[in-house]
């Protein structure tokens, strides 16, 4: 892109469409202001196309994995070639959409990842379970659905019975579109999320973030989409970060990947291991990371789309996020809307609406992850204090949030 065009783009108002409708999408929307930003959550591609035409959309940002894995980028690039789209194509999005694809790619590119087996055939899986009864009893494995599972595809069974139950759940929930399972070696160590903006040739890393995936305090209970996050964290040292950058660059170059890439990494005693790749921003990682951004988000997206060099600046602040959910999450949602009562919040915190709906002038919810409360300040402790002082001001039947976000955070010790 020539210099004139990039300067021009900085000064015009653009019509942007975000595909997806949660707290993460609201954080992205906030960081694209003052442009005109719309959101849509229909899965029907022709309705998306019509919306782009009706509202003169200049740029589409598919934010949820389902759009990307179903090929919305390919579709829009073919149907509306003048509209820009920021995100990976259907093939590239397989790094998230198919764990088998992702693990095989990691093996091919020598990216460190847990040893794994892939099974599609139900009888073979059950045979494996019989043969490896001992391993299964010794909680040494992780069972993952290979396809998309909305954050409900990973089990860490503690016994043979739990392993069987995990498999049966995965099979029952996904049998109409069965893509098989990955059985992988269980690793131990602190986890960190490393996200990057990608322009097809390189990955520009964002600050390290940590999210809290389990539903209960002290990382107990089932995995969720994420119950809180903090950023920045210092889990990986400089060399480990260089290694991570190198591996992500390999993926980006191998796939000509454009968009956001998300690497879930575990720091084990024998080195870093990649647990997964996602093809989008994390939720709730986006809510904390974007609040530290000191370069315009749209400028970065333009640079990635047009292969321009950009130096991204980050604020030296600390951001924390806590999700207010419903006690039934992640198992079920409510059948009816219930009212949310809100007292005024301090200006040290902001909320990004997730599962909320305005009815008769009041916010309501059907449960799930209801909202994300975020604070950004000069220290992690202050940000967390701000959130926990304000969280009790939002109430509804069955309100639930973790009380320990950020409290167990330990930076790496440099020697």
Binding residues for ligand GLY, rule: CB under 6 A, are 211, 225-226, 278, 282-283, 285
Q: Which of 404, 412, 410 is nearest to 220 (CA)?
A: 404
The answer to whether residue 164 forms part of the interface with ligand AMP (CB under 6 A) is: no
Toward ligand AMP, which CB reaches closer, 65 or 199?
65
CB of 234 to ligand AMP, least distance (A): 19
How far from 58 is each of 4, 55, 299, 309, 401, CA to CA, in Å? 18, 9, 14, 22, 38
CB of 164 to ligand GLY, least distance (A): 26
- Cβ atoms of 413 and 334 within 8 Å: the answer is no
Token pair 């995100």: residue: 87
CB of 63 to ligand AMP, least distance (A): 18
Q: Which stretch binds ligand AMP (CB under 6 A): 20-28, 82-90, 179-187, 336-344?
A: 179-187
- Binding mask 121-150 toward ligand AMP (x if CB under 6 A, else -) reads ---------------------x-x------
CB of 226 to ligand GLY, least distance (A): 3
Q: Which 3 state secondary structure label does DSSP give 328?
A: coil
CB of 321 to ligand AMP, least distance (A): 16
Q: Whole-angstrom Cα distance, residue 301 to residue 86? A: 7
Binding partner of residue 144 among ligand AMP, ligand GLY, none, CB cut-off 5 to 8 Å per kind: ligand AMP
The answer to whether residue 117 forms part of the interface with ligand AMP (CB under 6 A) is: no
- Cβ atoms of 205 and 311 within 8 Å: the answer is no
Q: Which residue's Cβ lies closest to ligand AMP?
A: 276
Q: Whole-angstrom Cα distance, residue 232 to residue 137? A: 37
Q: Which of 327, 287, 320 is nearest to 387 (CA)?
A: 320
- Cβ atoms of 284 and 211 within 8 Å: the answer is yes
Toward ligand GLY, which CB reaches closer, 163 or 290?
290
Provide the b/e sequence for 283-292 (b: ≥16 CB within 10 Å): bbbbbbbbbb
Listing DSSP states for 337-378 in one string gives -EEPEEPPPPTTEEEEESS-EEETTEEEE-SSEEEEEEEEES
CB of 156 to ligand AMP, least distance (A): 6
The answer to whether residue 17 forms part of the interface with ligand AMP (CB under 6 A) is: no
Token pair 């397989």: residue: 94
CB of 121 to ligand AMP, least distance (A): 22
Toward ligand GLY, which CB reaches closer, 125 or 182?
182
Pick out residues in 240-269 that bind ligand AMP (CB under 6 A).
264
Residues in the site for ligand AMP, rule: CB under 6 A?
114, 142, 144, 154, 156, 184-187, 191, 213, 223, 264, 275-276
């Amino acid at each position: 892109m020539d210099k004139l065009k990039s300067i021009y783009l900085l000064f015009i108002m653009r019509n942007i469409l975000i595909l997806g409708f949660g707290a993460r999408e609201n954080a992205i929307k906030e960081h694209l202001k003052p442009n005109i930003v719309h959101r849509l959550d229909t899965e029907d591609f022709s309705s998306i196309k019509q919306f782009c035409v009706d509202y003169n959309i200049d740029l589409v940002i598919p934010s949820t994995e389902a759009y990307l894995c179903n090929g919305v980028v390919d579709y829009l690039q073919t149907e509306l070639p003048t509209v820009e789209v920021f995100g990976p194509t259907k093939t590239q999005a397989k790094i998230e959409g198919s764990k088998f694809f992702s693990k095989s790619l990691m093996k091919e590119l020598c990216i460190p990842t847990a040893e794994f087996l892939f099974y599609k055939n139900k009888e073979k899986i059950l045979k494996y379970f019989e043969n490896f009864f001992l391993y299964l009893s010794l909680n040494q494995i992780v069972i993952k659905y290979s396809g998309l599972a909305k954050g409900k595809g990973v089990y860490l069974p503690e016994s043979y019975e739990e392993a069987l139950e995990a498999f049966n759940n995965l099979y029952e929930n996904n049998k109409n579109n069965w893509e098989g399972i990955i059985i992988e070696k269980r690793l131990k160590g602190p986890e960190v999320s490393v996200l990057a903006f990608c322009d097809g040739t390189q990955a520009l890393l964002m600050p390290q973030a940590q999210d809290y995936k389990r539903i209960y305090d002290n990382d107990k209970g089932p995995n969720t989409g994420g119950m809180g996050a903090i950023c920045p964290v210092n889990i990986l040292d400089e060399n480990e970060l260089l290694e991570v950058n190198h591996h992500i660059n390999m993926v980006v170059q191998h796939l000509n990947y454009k968009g956001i890439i998300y690497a879930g990494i575990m720091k084990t005693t024998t080195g870093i291991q990649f647990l997964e790749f996602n093809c989008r921003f994390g939720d709730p990682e986006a809510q904390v990371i974007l609040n530290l951004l000191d370069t315009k988000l749209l400028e970065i997206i333009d640079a990635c789309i047009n292969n321009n060099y950009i130096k991204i600046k980050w604020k030296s602040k600390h951001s924390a996020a806590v999700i207010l959910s419903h006690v039934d999450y992640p198992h079920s949602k409510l059948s009816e809307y219930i009212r949310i009562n809100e007292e005024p919040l301090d200006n040290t915190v902001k909320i990004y609406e997730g599962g909320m709906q305005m009815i008769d002038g009041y916010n309501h919810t059907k449960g799930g992850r209801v909202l994300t409360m975020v604070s950004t300040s000069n220290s992690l402790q202050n940000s967390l204090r701000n959130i926990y002082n304000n969280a009790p001001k939002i109430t509804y039947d069955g309100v639930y949030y973790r009380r320990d976000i950020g409290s167990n955070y330990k930076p790496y010790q440099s020697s």
